[in-house]
Amino acid sequence: MGRRAFLSIIALGALGVTVGSKVQNFLGNSVGTGFGGLLPFGDRFRIYSITGNYPSISRRKYRLEVTGLVERPTVYTLSDLEAMPATAFKKTFQCVTGWKVPDVEWRGVQLSHLLDLAGVKPGAVALTFESYDGADTESLTLDQAHLPDVLVAYEMLGAPVTLEHGGPVRLYVAQMFGYKSLKWLSAIRVVDRVEPGYWEQNGYPVNGWLDGSTGPTNPTPGLT
Ligand SMILES: Nc1nc2c(c(=O)[nH]1)N[C@H]1C(S)=C(S)[C@@H](COP(=O)(O)O)O[C@H]1N2
Ligand SMILES: [Mo]
Residue 51, in any domain of the structure: no
CATH number of the domain that residue 191 is part of: 3.90.420.10
Ligand 2 centroid – CA 116 distance (Å): 29
- Please report, in tens digits, the pLDDT of each residue of the chain (224 residues total): 344 443 343 343 344 333 333 343 334 334 444 443 444 557 899 999 999 999 999 999 999 999 999 999 999 999 999 999 999 999 999 999 999 999 999 999 999 999 999 999 999 999 999 999 999 999 999 999 999 999 999 999 999 999 999 999 999 999 999 999 999 999 999 999 999 999 999 999 999 999 766 667 655 555 55
Residue 58, in any domain of the structure: no
Ligand 1 centroid – CA 71 distance (Å): 31
Ligand 2 centroid – CA 81 distance (Å): 26
Q: Which residues, at least 6 apart from 22, have a Cβ–Cβ distance to it below 8 Å?
A: 202, 203
One domain for residues 78 and 16: no
One domain for residues 73 and 29: no
One domain for residues 23 and 108: no
Dihedral angle sign, alpha carbons of residues 52, 53, 55, 58:
positive
Whether residue 69 contacts residue 192, with contact meaning beta carbons closer than 8 Å, is answered with: yes
Residue 55, in any domain of the structure: no
Q: Which ligand is nearest to the CA of 26?
A: 1
Q: Which ligand is nearest to the CA of 55?
A: 1
> For atom 1 of ligand 1, which residue has the closest CA?
183
Q: How many helices (H) and strands (E) does the chain have?
A: 6, 10
One domain for residues 28 and 89: no
Determine the atom of ligand 1 nearest the C-alpha atom of 46. 21
Whether residue 18 contacts residue 98, with contact meaning beta carbons closer than 8 Å, is answered with: yes
One domain for residues 14 and 124: no
H helix or E strand, kind and range, residue 93: strand 87-94
Whether residue 177 contacts residue 210, with contact meaning beta carbons closer than 8 Å, is answered with: yes
Q: Is 178 exposed, middle or buried (0-12, 13-18, 19+ CB in 10 A)?
A: buried
**Number of domains forming the structure of the chain:** 2
- Residues near ligand 1 (Cβ within 6 A): 45-50, 95, 131, 133, 136, 165-166, 178-179, 181-184
Q: Would you list the DSSP string of 54-67?
A: -----TTT-EEEEE
One domain for residues 183 and 126: yes
Residue 152, in any domain of the structure: yes
One domain for residues 27 and 74: no
One domain for residues 174 and 110: yes
Candidates 126, 94, 152, 131; CA nearest to 206 is 126
One domain for residues 29 and 80: no
One domain for residues 21 and 68: no
One domain for residues 72 and 30: no
Report field, pTM of the whole predicted structure over 0.85: no
Range of the domain at 95: 63-201
